[in-house]
Amino acid sequence: MKSAKSELSSGSLELGAGKVCFLTLGCKVNQAESEALAQLFREANYEVVSASEDADVVVVNTCTVTNTGGSKSRQAIRRMIKAHPESIVAVTGCYAQTAPGEVLGIEGVDLVLGTQDRNKILEWIERVKRERRPQNAVRGLEEAGEFEELPQLAEENRTRAFLKIQEGCNQFCTYCIIPYARGPLRSRQPEKALAEARRLVAEGYPEIVLTGIHTGFYGQDLNAEWNLARLVQELIKIAGLRRLRLSSIEPMEYSPELIDCLASSDIVCPHVHMPLQSGSDEILSRMHRPYSLQDYRELLVRLRQRIPDLAVTTDIIVGFPGETEADHASTLEFVRECGFAGVHVFPYSKRQGTPAADYPDQVPKKLKDQRVKELMTVAHASQRAYIHSFIGKTVEVLIEKVDTAGKAVGHTSHYIEVHLPGQQGKVWTSRQFVQVVLQEDYIKE
């Protein structure tokens, strides 16, 4: 054990007299969870400091999902150990869950905690201090029980707060490590989610974004009549909530009730993120995605019949094993047809332990890079066309930031980023809703 760790274990620094810093990799769910962990530390009177400051405890929240997540996580852990040689180093998150042995094998790691039991992190740190040896607190996900309640304080800025309503996934798409890293579907109890939402609104957040791993299946594991549509119907009754944004919902999970919520409520934003992943039926089937291009197309028609200017954003994986030129051309064509408001393009990368990692016909990197470029060009044109369709129309912008020159930036309910110039005699303020006629120079491309 390092000197400060010995000092801590000897009791010279009482619990609550310390500082903690965080380094978070990966997705918004990880960001939200780090915020929640920070809150647990604050409640124990820790001071949360930036990752560059001295701290008694360092928490590295890892990822294994994004490209090269595992190796990036290992680098981040080593970097933090080097920068904080005297600190207790706790490693949590998806990489910790899927490779606890590798994490503990890194000299200087004191605690490995996966994607469960994070609400016990302070107890585990006490144990590290007491026993003066590294601890492995990772439990197998087959034991994963209920949704883990953590304080939910995540915010993207002072206007938009994330409300996590669900954890885990049972779908096992063949490229995805998430079901192995986060375990089965667990939904947050509706009364807890609603109470959290009320608190966020009372704190002044005008917009809430629902987050989770497989949000569309919210409620499937609850022994009650709960599903996402019902939760949304309850959330929009909260007085003071101006915007509710759904995050990623899988294509087959838009029930008629959910579409009704989107179409009939002024509070539910007309914006859906609907992962497509490939524009080839053959590839979709090998990805184990439960829909065809025709299903996806018909869903878009149904949604747009009810909400004509709906913003639809998506994710696409390029270069899945066996993807041919014809598959790729079909994806480009399908993206042109769909009129997406935004496309996140990911080159396929192997995740050890997933079926697709062992598939033959892996696509060479150079070819993948070329296809990514081609798809990004099509995606960008599609996004541009969508945004430009609002030029000259009145849109409502929720202002998020105002700079010292008085310029403001915010988003419309369709998630178009709008940059407003400073105006004489007019001061924009964060959390303000303004109606503007969208002009070309309000958009940054």
Contacting residues toward ligand SF4, per CB under 6 A:
169, 171-173, 176, 178-179, 213-214, 250
Q: How far is the CB of 162 from ligand SF4 (least distance, A)?
A: 17
Per the CB < 8 A criterion, the answer to whether 61 and 93 are in contact is yes
Q: How far is the CB of 17 from ligand SF4 (least distance, A)?
A: 40
Q: How many CB atoms lie within 10 A of CB 409?
A: 19
Q: How far is the CB of 213 from ligand SF4 (least distance, A)?
A: 5
Per the CB < 8 A criterion, the answer to whether 22 and 38 are in contact is yes
Nearer to ligand SF4, 110 or 253 (CB): 253
Q: How far is the CB of 181 from ligand SF4 (least distance, A)?
A: 9
Q: How far is the CB of 275 from ligand SF4 (least distance, A)?
A: 7
Nearer to ligand SF4, 81 or 276 (CB): 276
Nearer to ligand SF4, 18 or 93 (CB): 93
Nearer to ligand SF4, 71 or 172 (CB): 172
Report the greatest alpha carbon distance in the chain: 68
Q: How far is the CB of 180 from ligand SF4 (least distance, A)?
A: 9
Give the β-pairing of 166-167 and 186-187.
Answer: antiparallel
Nearer to ligand SF4, 218 or 390 (CB): 218
Nearer to ligand SF4, 46 or 180 (CB): 180
Q: How far is the CB of 277 from ligand SF4 (least distance, A)?
A: 8
Give the β-pairing of 111-112 and 135-136.
Answer: parallel
Per the CB < 8 A criterion, the answer to whether 183 and 144 are in contact is yes
Q: How far is the CB of 234 from ligand SF4 (least distance, A)?
A: 25
Residue type, 332: L
Rounded CA separation 420/318 (Å): 35
Nearer to ligand SF4, 104 or 274 (CB): 274
**Tokens read off for 297:** 């197309």
Strand partners for 136: 112
- Provide the strand spans (E) within 12-56: 19-24, 47-49
Nearer to ligand SF4, 39 or 171 (CB): 171
Region of 204 (left: φ > 0; alpha: ψ -120 to 50; beta: rest) is left
Nearer to ligand SF4, 75 or 172 (CB): 172
Cα dist. 63→67, 161, 303 in Å?
9, 22, 33
3-state secondary structure 288-354: CCCCCHHHHHHHHHHHHHHCCCCEEEEEEEECCCCCCHHHHHHHHHHHHHHCCCEEEEEECCCCCCC
Nearer to ligand SF4, 193 or 213 (CB): 213
User: 418-429: string of b/e by CB count within 10 Å (b at 16+)?
Assistant: bebeeeeeeebe
Nearer to ligand SF4, 207 or 250 (CB): 250
Per the CB < 8 A criterion, the answer to whether 202 and 120 are in contact is no
Output the CA torsion sign for 67, 69, 71, 75. Answer: positive
Rounded CA separation 11/9 (Å): 5
Q: How far is the CB of 176 from ligand SF4 (least distance, A)?
A: 3
Q: How far is the CB of 153 from ligand SF4 (least distance, A)?
A: 24
Q: How far is the CB of 251 from ligand SF4 (least distance, A)?
A: 10
Give the β-pairing of 417-420 and 408-412.
Answer: antiparallel
